Amino acid sequence: MAVLVGRKAPHFSETAVVNGKDIVDGFSLDQYLDDKYVILFFYPRDFTYVCPTEIHAFQERLNDFASRNCAIVGVSTDTPESHRAYLNMPKEEGGLNGVTYPLVADLNKTVSTNYDVLAGEYDYDEEGNLLAHGNLVAYRGLFLIDKEGIVRHQLVNFFPIGRSVDEAIRVLDAWIHNETHGEVCPANWEKGKEAMAETTSGVAAYLANH
């Protein structure tokens, strides 16, 4: 698994469904550069079980992310038509109706591969026939990307394990605090709690009081 933290987020330009209905070609994260933070998350498949709980959970906290100047973008290896059909399905039937942030269609699996969250792999047999080992869908990857397009946090879960939106917000708050105040955030830090100066004396003073 590649560690992308501290590196430029891999570029992509793919088809996405935006505003819950519109299929848009050439969608990329370049539109957010120098303007917004981005939480980019991958999920395995449309029309499944854990995935809609996560997708709706991000939608329910969309205003919290917006207040922090952060865009949410989802990605799976499904087609754009599948995304749109899923977005049109009522929530009470397991669908995504009501979700408004972009869902990228990584149909060629290049985005998932470049972010190194694609489960399974291609191979060839002795006769040169192409084989696929495992399901060629995305793990539950999540990446916090700053305004300069640099990955500052990444998390990858196996298929059955849903992610915490609260934790995504906490990490975003910690990065914003560091950018704004130059302080580092200790274990279990949350917005509004005391941080520490990035010096020996600053750390010592913090530990002495906790």
List beta partners, residue 131. 123
- Opening angle at CA 29, ends 27 and 19, nearest 5: 50
Q: Do 86 and 16 form a contact (C-beta atoms < 8 A)?
A: no
Active site residues: 51
Q: Do 177 and 195 form a contact (C-beta atoms < 8 A)?
A: yes
Q: Do 175 and 165 form a contact (C-beta atoms < 8 A)?
A: no
Q: Do 163 and 117 form a contact (C-beta atoms < 8 A)?
A: no
Helix (H, G, I), strand (E, B) or coil at 164: coil
Q: CB-based contacts of 39: which residues, under 8 Å, 6+ apart?
A: 58, 65, 70, 71, 72, 73, 142, 143, 144, 145, 168, 172
Q: What is the DSSP letter of 10?
A: P
